[in-house]
Amino acid sequence: MSRGLGLAIPFWLDRPDEEAVEIAQTADRVGIETVWVGEMASFDAFALATAIGLGTGRIRIKVGPLASGVRSPVAIALGASSVATLVGRPVDLALGASSPAIVSGWHGRPWSGLAGQMRDSVTALRSLLDGERANSHGFRLRRPQPRASITVAAFGPAMTRVAARHADEVVLNLVTPEHVAAVRRAIAAEARAAGREAPQLAVWVPAALDPGPQALAQLAGQLAAYLAAPGYAELFAALGFGELVDRARAGAARAELGTSVPIELLAQIGALGSAGEIAARVAAYHEAGADHVAVVPSTAEDPAGQRVLESLSTQPAVRT
């Protein structure tokens, strides 16, 4: 039904974790083509992807971005193959660097050599998904997944270079259409230098239909978690919100920062307003060079994202 339109399962601290399955079911019902299943502090991504697959009929599942420094390529390949086998349809994968707080703080893994680690992970994962052994005596999938695509979340020139040269798709999060256009040019140049076709480009966009105070507070509270994160911080500062970034880097509490995030920042990296305004914003990302736009629906005033997802599925600007 929809051209290049997907759903990214949100992680809202003020909503029940189980709502993730309901959101995916809503997207499946209205004809959204893809659901991205990331991993935060609620569910294991592969477990949630299996629940979503068993509770939906046709939507394509993309697991991730998963932190490439936390799971080995074998663990990721086995997870993807397990979900695809259990739900009876193809599963794609996305990898990212994540953040020092998650990689080192939660999992005790080193936060270093990220670009090289990503290159090696993508190469090894592609080989495993195609049914090859990890090494001469190593693991091999009983059920290979050669149709699975591999996406890389890219921020910064080093990771963008790796993604452009090795991935099937690049994904961005919390960016403006102008940033999408710049990355589109960068990955085209890197792919051309590597002698390969440029990968697809996807973007995650927070969305809220006619948002009121609760929805705006939900979006602001979540964005506050990214204010000091590498890559995101530089982008927000370049947009004119350097003072907010400085406060985040100085250790201000997320709750305090959330009340300070202005609607002007939310509007620059999101799709807010009427059904027509949201559709126009999605179209702006497509026109900037995004092949795929995955909305992250606010659910504070819109349980399971039903209203915003239904509005997107019926707007001519986002239909094939």
In a domain, 215, yes or no: no
In a domain, 151, yes or no: yes
Question: What is the span of the domain harbouring residue 103?
Answer: 5-206+274-318
In a domain, 314, yes or no: yes
In a domain, 246, yes or no: no
In a domain, 66, yes or no: yes
Q: What is the pLDDT of residue 318?
A: 52
Assessment of whether the complete model's pTM goes beyond 0.75:
yes
Q: What is the pLDDT of residue 240?
A: 96
In a domain, 250, yes or no: no
Could you tell me the CATH number of the domain that includes residue 69?
Answer: 3.20.20.30
Average pLDDT over every residue of 168-195: 97
Three-state secondary structure string covering the chain? CECCEEEECCCCCCCCCCHHHHHHHHHHHHCCCEEEECCCCCCCHHHHHHHHHHHCCCCEEEEEEEECCCCCHHHHHHHHHHHHHHHCCCEEEEEECCCHHHHHHHCCCCCCCHHHHHHHHHHHHHHHHCCCCCCCCCCCCCCCCCCCCEEEECCCHHHHHHHHHHCCEEEEECCCHHHHHHHHHHHHHHHHHHCCCCCEEEEEEEEEECCCHHHHHHHHHHHHCCCCCCCHHHHHHHHHHHHHHHHHHCCCCHHHHHCCCCHHHHHHHCEEECHHHHHHHHHHHHHHCCCEEEEEECCCCCHHHHHHHHHHHCCHHHEC
Model confidence pLDDT, tens digit, residues 227-281: 998 889 999 999 999 999 999 999 999 999 999 999 999 999 999 999 999 999 9
When divided into structural domains, the chain yields a total of 1
In a domain, 160, yes or no: yes
